[in-house]
Amino acid sequence: MGHSHASSNINWHERFAMPASLRKYLLYAFVIGIILVLVGLVQAFGIHVEHSEGHGHHTAPWLSRLSANLLITSMYMLGVSILSVFFLAVGYAANAGWYVMIQRIPQAFARSLPVTAGLLAIVILSLSTILYEWTHSDVVAKDEILRHKSGYLNLPFFAIRLAIILGGWLLFWRGFTKNWESLDSTGEIRYFHNLRRLAAGFIVFFALSWSIASWDWLMSTSPHWFSTMFAVYNFANLWITTICFITFSAVILKKNGYLSGVNDSHIHDLGKFVFAFSIFWTYIFYGQFMLIWYANIPEETFWFYERIRAHVNPQYVPIFYVTIVLNFLLPLLGLMSASIKRNYTWLSIITGILLFTHWLDTFMVVMPSVAGKAGGLGAMEVGFFLIGAGGLFWLAARQMEKFPSLTPRHHPYLEESVHHSYEPM
């Protein structure tokens, strides 16, 4: 392939090797995370709750809190993996070319899907009686609402849906990875066309399966509650999380001398994605909250009542408002300027903070429902975040080392991405 003067500085055979500094930082994150989880467990052993809004009457408070953390973190990790596949599928379906030079990053996160899917399946199936109130026949027998929902919320059907969803995602994932590898090795255009066809089918399947997964795995931790917007809300949260992982990784790689083909315009576009979808998340969050609160239907409002009323669960109130402020105002004010989206240091700070605050978003869905008064934000939660985020970066880095080149040399839109340019006014 011939290359123009604009692409003459690109290292077309660039390979990734995990820097010693990255290994050290990830090791620190794991070690500190494990220590914090152990400290949190010791602290949780001393918690005694007489009447918990969560499922604490079925198990010890420390175990319900531990189980909630495992669900939060495994969902966080799986969400980034599958939404990285979605990120690439949207690019194929839209015939986009701008992202080609950064596509190795979402590919690396996507290739961790078998690990994260297996982790979530183990957590959910092994801890279902702690996480989900509707798994207890004695509770369902005394509750008219749960009896009416038992045709859908029962363990056999739940496990079948889990297998279909994860199995379907993994089948599409296998199709994507095989064609990625074939396109890299041969450069034959038919593999790119295969990716486009796979993308079209995956997007349809994902839309349906993600909605069911959101209802089953997260929303049913509070089985009396319902919201027609929850699946979109869960998508918005983990979608912006995924974009932050991609953006943060791109900036760090550039700072360490990798991704020679990625220019300021690519980084600027990632910054625009973080900015735009932070507004989208806020819109969905406010839409769900405002409609439920305005309608004032007790079957809906109790879910927010447990999270924003100090006399019910005071430990969640500040987290609720801090999460809103940081997830909305931080990217709104911090990334509003066009030029600042190209400031690598600032962009890494913003996305780094959002990685944690959007983990808190999933925390606020699960923890009050599962652990109730026994839950909270402490050493255990911070430890699980460090393990989960560090684990994702570790898995992605190991996958990135396997790529023949950080530049997808045989992608048909490579030249378009090489010459991608946008100059802010």
Q: What is the pLDDT of residue 39?
A: 95
Q: Which amino acid is at 270?
A: L
The half-sphere exposure of 280 on its side-chain side, counting CA atoms within 13 A, is 17
Query: How many angstroms separate the Cα of 179 from the Cα of each of 21, 52, 191, 195, 196?
Result: 33, 50, 5, 7, 10
H or E segment to which residue 188 belongs: none
Q: What is the pLDDT of residue 9?
A: 77
Query: How many angstroms separate the Cα of 83 from the Cα of each of 6, 111, 240, 299, 346?
Result: 32, 11, 10, 31, 24
Domain membership flag for residue 6? no
The per-residue pLDDT for range 351-366, each reduced to its tens digit, is 999 999 999 999 999 9
Q: What is the pLDDT of residue 229?
A: 94
**Residue range 157-180: average pLDDT?**
97
For the chain, the straight-line distance linking the first and the last C-alpha, in angstroms and rounded, comes to 34
- Number of separate domains in the chain: 1
Q: At residue 7, does pLDDT exceed 80? A: no
**Residue range 181-198: average pLDDT?**
94
Q: At residue 348, does pLDDT exceed 60? A: yes
Specify the higher pLDDT residue, 242 or 264.
Answer: 242
Q: At residue 72, does pLDDT exceed 60? A: yes
Q: What is the pLDDT of residue 8?
A: 58
Domain membership flag for residue 8? no
Q: Scan for tokens 């399946």, then name that residue.
A: 121
Cα 330 from chain centre: 19
**Most confident segment among 3-7, 367-371, 404-408:** 367-371
DSSP 99: G
Token pair recorded at residue 389:
């985020």
Q: What is the pLDDT of residue 51?
A: 44
- Residue 278's closest CA among 194, 335, 363? 335
Q: Scan for tokens 């809190």, then name that residue.
A: 65
Q: At residue 59, does pLDDT exceed 80? A: no
Domain holding 89, by residue range, is: 13-50+62-401
Q: Scan for tokens 């989208």, then name that residue.
A: 280
Q: At residue 1, does pLDDT exceed 50? A: no
Token pair recorded at residue 72:
């939060």
Close Cβ partners of 265 (under 8 Å, ≥ 6 residues apart): 98, 420, 421, 422, 423
Domain membership flag for residue 7? no
DSSP 133: G
Q: What is the pLDDT of residue 58?
A: 58
**Maximum C-alpha span of the chain:** 74
Q: What is the pLDDT of residue 19?
A: 87
Q: At residue 49, does pLDDT exceed 70? A: no
67-78 burial: b if 16+ Cβ within 10 Å, else e: bbbbbbbbbbbb
Total residues belonging to the chain: 425
Domain membership flag for residue 140? yes
Q: Scan for tokens 């909250």, then name that residue.
A: 289
118-143 burial: b if 16+ Cβ within 10 Å, else e: ebbbebbeebbebbbbbbbeeebeeb
Per cent of the chain over pLDDT 70 is 95
The half-sphere exposure of 307 on its side-chain side, counting CA atoms within 13 A, is 26
Structure-derived torsion over alpha carbons of residues 62, 63, 65, 69, reported in degrees to the nearest 10? 130
Domain membership flag for residue 111? yes
- Residue 245's closest CA among 387, 72, 85, 106? 106
**Residue range 310-319: average pLDDT?**
89
Residues 347, 339 contacting (CB under 8 angstroms): no
Triad 323, 284, 235: Cα angle to 5°: 85
Domain membership flag for residue 30? yes
Q: At residue 50, does pLDDT exceed 90? A: no
pTM over 0.85: yes
Specify the higher pLDDT residue, 148 or 423.
Answer: 148
Q: What is the pLDDT of residue 3?
A: 47
Per cent of the chain over pLDDT 90 is 75
Domain membership flag for residue 416? no
The per-residue pLDDT for range 374-397, each reduced to its tens digit, is 899 999 999 999 999 999 999 999
Cα–Cα distance measured from residue 19 to residue 38, given in angstroms and rounded to the nearest whole number: 29
Query: How many angstroms separate the Cα of 356 from the Cα of each of 4, 14, 231, 243?
Result: 41, 31, 21, 13
Query: How many angstroms separate the Cα of 69 from the Cα of each of 122, 231, 393?
Result: 14, 20, 19
Q: What is the pLDDT of residue 339?
A: 86
Q: Scan for tokens 């735009």, then name that residue.
A: 276
Q: At residue 53, does pLDDT exceed 80? A: no
Domain membership flag for residue 420? no
Residue 365 CB neighbours (<10 A): 25
